[in-house]
Amino acid sequence: MDAAQTGLNLQEVENAARTSVGEAITRLAGDYSKAASFDNASMLTQLATLAGSLKADIPGDAKAIVARAQVDLDGSAKRLKALNDVAGRWRQLRAQGTRDPAVEARVNQVMAAIVSAGSVEPNPFDAAAMTAQDRAALGTLVAAWIEIQGQLLPGQRRAVTIALRGPPSADANTSTLLADVAAELQRQGFAVTTGAAGADATFVLSLSAPAIEEGGINSDGLFQRRASTKGTLQWSYSGRSADLGTITGVGADRDKRVITEAALRAAAAEVGKTLLAKVQGA
List, for residues 139-169, the tens digit of each pLDDT value.
Answer: 888 888 887 877 777 777 877 889 999 998 8
Q: Is the pLDDT of residue 244 over 60?
A: yes
Say what the pLDDT of residue 172 is.
93
Rg (the chain; Cα; Å): 29
Question: Last residue of some domain: 149, 171, 191?
Answer: 149
Helices 63-96 + 101-114 axis angle, to 10: 140
Mean pLDDT of the chain: 86
Q: Is the pLDDT of residue 278 over 50?
A: yes
For residue 194, count other CB atoms closer than 10 A to its CB.
15
DSSP H helices, 115-258, are 124-129, 132-149, 172-187
Question: Last residue of some domain: 114, 149, 184?
Answer: 149
| Same domain? 119 vs 14 | yes
- The set of residues, in sequence order, having a beta carbon less than 8 Å from that of 130 and lying 6+ positions away, is 80, 122, 138
For residue 169, count other CB atoms closer than 10 A to its CB.
7
Say what the pLDDT of residue 139 is.
82
| Same domain? 38 vs 140 | yes
| Same domain? 14 vs 142 | yes
CATH number (domain holding residue 192)? 3.30.160.150
Q: How confident is the model at residue 136 (pLDDT cuts 50, 70, 90)?
A: confident
Following DSSP, what letter does each residue of 79-146 receive, concatenated?
A: HHHHHHHHHHHHHHHHHHT---HHHHHHHHHHHHHHB-TT-SSBPHHHHHH--HHHHHHHHHHHHHHH
Type of residue at 267: A
**Residue 113 belongs to a domain:** yes
Question: Last residue of some domain: 124, 149, 174?
Answer: 149
**Residue 274 belongs to a domain:** yes
Q: Which of 52-61, 94-103, 228-237 has the lowest mean pLDDT?
A: 52-61
Q: How confident is the model at residue 29 (pLDDT cuts 50, 70, 90)?
A: confident
Say what the pLDDT of residue 201 is.
81
Angstrom distances, CA of residue 185 to CA of 100, 121, 160, 205, 274: 30, 21, 11, 11, 11
Instruction: Average the pLDDT over 193-215 and give the result.
Output: 83
Instruction: Average the pLDDT over 223-237 and give the result.
Output: 90
Q: What is the dihedral of CA 205, 197, 84, 118, to 10 degrees?
A: -30
Number of domains in the chain: 2
Q: How confident is the model at residue 282 (pLDDT cuts 50, 70, 90)?
A: very low
| Same domain? 1 vs 134 | yes
**Alpha carbons 130 and 170: distance in angstroms, whole number:** 44
Instruction: Residue 234: give the domain boundaries.
Output: 159-279
> For 114-132, how does the pLDDT look when each residue is reduced to its tens digit (9 = 90+)?
987 767 789 999 999 999 9
Instruction: Average the pLDDT over 174-199 and give the result.
Output: 87
Kind of pairing between the strands at 203-207 and 223-235: antiparallel
| Same domain? 275 vs 255 | yes
